[in-house]
């Protein structure tokens, strides 16, 4: 017998787009259900980008996201981020970072400009909001005072020597050292989530402190791969700094990424005891639109089926990785509702011959087109359903990887979709 849910809004997808929309819904006391898998969180650096690519100089990054979005308004007025007002995007970031702060995960950054953060490749990359464990990362890069970068035996995602080699030309007092992480002598291979979970315990924190003290010479700064806990990164950072007198910062690592996991865990916690129910790892398999505008949805598996009746839907199912878009040999489809997908005319046009083509690959701009309320539309611009909305990377015309706008796109469109849903719900009923 299927578990049955009846809800006002079903958010399909629990990547950053779906989870942030769920938080916005909870803040407005909207009765909602959110379903889906882990999304891109575990791959993401945990940094929140708004816009990081220059639109004037090919291949360059920018510290001015708002100037670029203003330029984009002329170049591509249909880009989903351009269709949302600056104040609305700012409000969305503020609301989501406030919710995260309440869960002990503080994000900071400038209102008008990006911050440059050191990467595991020894390069600098722009971002709009960064977690507090990475706050001193950009300050260290700016000041270039004596700094020690550590890595750990058996850890493959991060190499301190590589970072030093890449940065030493402009930062002479940068030293790299490899240590054995406490209690891992028998471990041949290690991953950052394992180290982060170990550091949640007081016993390992004490041993880690001793290790750091033995490694530091005359440095005042200490850079680590992102391993400072999953749930208590701020507490662990504060403890280590207070006990060593060092300025400590994390450097994002390649996937699997601890800051991405932290972000997801904090959003999950933010939904506890709210009007939103989270159905983790449940995939919607079928949607049947009903005559009065509501939707009957089936989710789960044969063994554990779930039926959800929702008055409105928010589709935040991501792109190819998440399963929101599907490419066969000839075309790209939206598999759940068969929505029209904006895409190149034929497969030959999906990719440019030059992998590094500064204008990108056209397949990355494929997706679902919407009206100003973020409702998917037919080619003649009519909404497919009155109460179907879409947010995040499933949207057409954005190329978030190239333009570095992943989190900004997901958060801003999630916010706008929830506002649109509320606006429609509160409209007087026609008699
Ligand atoms: C490798 C990588 C690195 C990244 N790094 C950064 C970064 O440094 N900074 C930044 O700002 N952004 C980054 N991002 C992007 C950021 O993570 C995206 O903004 C984020 O993935 C949000 O996308 P989304 O929620 O639209 O889709 P996804 O994260 O793909 O989530 C889609 C969700 O939909 C669910 N779903 C799909 N189909 C169904 C179905 N039928 N039923 C139920 N659920 C379904 C999936 O299970 C998943 O939960 C990165 C992403 C990746 C992949």
pLDDT in tens, 335-389: 999 999 999 999 999 999 999 888 899 999 999 999 999 999 999 999 999 999 9
- Mean per-residue pLDDT for 186-197? 92
Domain boundaries, the chain: 3-103+261-425, 133-249
Residue nearest to atom 44 of ligand 1 (CA): 36
**CA–CA separation, 236 and 227 (whole Å):** 10
Q: Which pLDDT score, from 0 to 100, does residue 394 have?
A: 98
Mean pLDDT of the chain: 95
pLDDT in tens, 298-328: 998 888 899 999 999 999 999 999 999 999 9
pLDDT in tens, 133-172: 999 999 999 999 999 999 999 998 899 999 999 999 999 9
- Mean per-residue pLDDT for 229-253? 97
Residue 368, strand partner residues: 395
**CA–CA separation, 11 and 36 (whole Å):** 9
Residue 20, strand partner residues: none
CATH number of 133-249: 3.40.50
Q: Which pLDDT score, from 0 to 100, does residue 380 have?
A: 97
**CA–CA separation, 143 and 137 (whole Å):** 10
**CA–CA separation, 168 and 161 (whole Å):** 10
Ligand 1 and 109: CB distance under 6 A = no
Residues ≥6 apart with Cβ < 8 Å to 179: 150, 151, 152, 153, 211, 215
Examine the pLDDT at 408 and tell me if it is beyond 90: yes
Examine the pLDDT at 285 and tell me if it is beyond 90: yes
| Phi, psi of 328, deg, nearest 5 | -100, -165
CA 258 remoteness from chain centre: 12
Instruction: Provide the pLDDT confidence category of residue 406 given band limits of 50, 70 and 90.
Output: very high
Q: Which pLDDT score, from 0 to 100, does residue 189 have?
A: 87
Centre of ligand 1 to C-alpha 37, Å, is 10
Q: Which pLDDT score, from 0 to 100, does residue 430 have?
A: 62
Q: Which pLDDT score, from 0 to 100, does residue 316 have?
A: 98
**CA–CA separation, 412 and 406 (whole Å):** 10
Tokens (6 digits) for 420: 């649109």
- Mean per-residue pLDDT for 110-137? 96
pLDDT in tens, 245-261: 999 999 999 899 999 99
Q: Which pLDDT score, from 0 to 100, does residue 342 have?
A: 97
Centre of ligand 1 to C-alpha 205, Å, is 32
Select from 225, 259, 228, 258 the least CA-distant residue to 241.
228
Examine the pLDDT at 184 and tell me if it is beyond 70: yes
- Mean per-residue pLDDT for 198-207? 97
Centre of ligand 1 to C-alpha 345, Å, is 26
Domain 3-103+261-425 -> CATH class = alpha beta
Centre of ligand 1 to C-alpha 15, Å, is 4
Examine the pLDDT at 218 and tell me if it is beyond 90: yes
As a whole-number percent, the residues of the chain with pLDDT over 90 amount to 90
Q: Is 332 helix (H, G, I), strand (E, B) or coil?
A: strand
Q: Which pLDDT score, from 0 to 100, does residue 429 have?
A: 65
Ligand 1 and 14: CB distance under 6 A = yes
Strands (DSSP E) along 190-294, which ranges? 221-225, 247-251, 276-280, 284-289
Centre of ligand 1 to C-alpha 314, Å, is 15
Q: Which pLDDT score, from 0 to 100, does residue 431 have?
A: 58
Ligand 1 and 407: CB distance under 6 A = yes
Ligand 1 and 321: CB distance under 6 A = yes
């Amino acid at each position: 017998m299927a578990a049955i849910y009846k809800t006002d809004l079903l958010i399909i997808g629990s990547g950053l787009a779906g989870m942030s929309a769920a938080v916005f819904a909870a803040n407005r006391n909207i009765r909602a259900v959110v379903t889906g898998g882990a999304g891109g969180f575990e791959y993401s650096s945990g940094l929140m980008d708004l816009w990081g690519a220059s639109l004037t100089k090919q291949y360059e990054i920018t510290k001015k996201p708002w100037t670029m979005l203003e330029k984009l308004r002329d170049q591509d007025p249909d880009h989903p981020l351009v269709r949302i007002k600056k104040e609305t995007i700012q409000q969305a970031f503020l609301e989501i970072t406030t919710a995260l702060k309440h869960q002990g995960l503080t994000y900071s950054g400038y209102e008008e400009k990006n911050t440059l953060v050191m990467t595991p490749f020894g390069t600098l990359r722009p971002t709009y909001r960064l977690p507090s464990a990475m706050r001193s990362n950009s300050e260290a890069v700016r000041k270039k005072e004596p700094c020690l970068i550590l890595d750990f035996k058996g850890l493959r995602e991060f190499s301190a020597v590589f970072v030093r080699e890449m940065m030493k030309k402009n930062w002479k007092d940068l030293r790299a050292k490899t240590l054995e992480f406490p209690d891992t002598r028998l471990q041949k291979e290690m991953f950052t989530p394992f180290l982060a979970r170990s550091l949640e315990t007081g016993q390992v924190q004490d041993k880690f402190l001793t290790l750091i003290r033995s490694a530091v010479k005359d440095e005042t700064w200490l850079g680590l791969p992102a391993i400072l806990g999953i749930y208590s990164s701020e507490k662990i950072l504060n403890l280590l700094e207070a006990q060593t007198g060092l300025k400590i910062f994390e450097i994002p690592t390649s996937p699997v990424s601890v800051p991405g996991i932290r972000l997801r865990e904090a959003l999950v916690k933010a939904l506890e005891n709210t009007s939103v129910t989270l159905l983790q790892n449940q995939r919607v398999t079928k949607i049947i639109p009903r005559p009065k505008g509501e939707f009957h949805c089936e989710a789960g598996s044969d063994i554990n089926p779930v039926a959800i009746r929702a008055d409105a839907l928010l589709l935040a199912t991501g792109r190819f990785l998440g399963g929101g878009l599907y490419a066969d040999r000839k075309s790209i489809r939206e598999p759940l509702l068969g929505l029209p997908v904006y895409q190149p005319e034929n497969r030959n046009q999906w990719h440019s011959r030059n992998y590094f083509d500064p204008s990108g690959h056209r397949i990355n701009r494929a997706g679902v087109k919407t009206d100003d309320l973020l409702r998917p539309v037919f080619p003649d611009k009519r909404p497919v359903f009155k109460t179907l909305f879409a947010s995040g990377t499933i949207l057409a015309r954005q190329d978030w990887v190239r333009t570095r706008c992943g989190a900004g796109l997901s958060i801003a469109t999630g916010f706008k979709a929830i506002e649109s849903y509320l606006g429609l719900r509160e409209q007087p009923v026609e008699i």
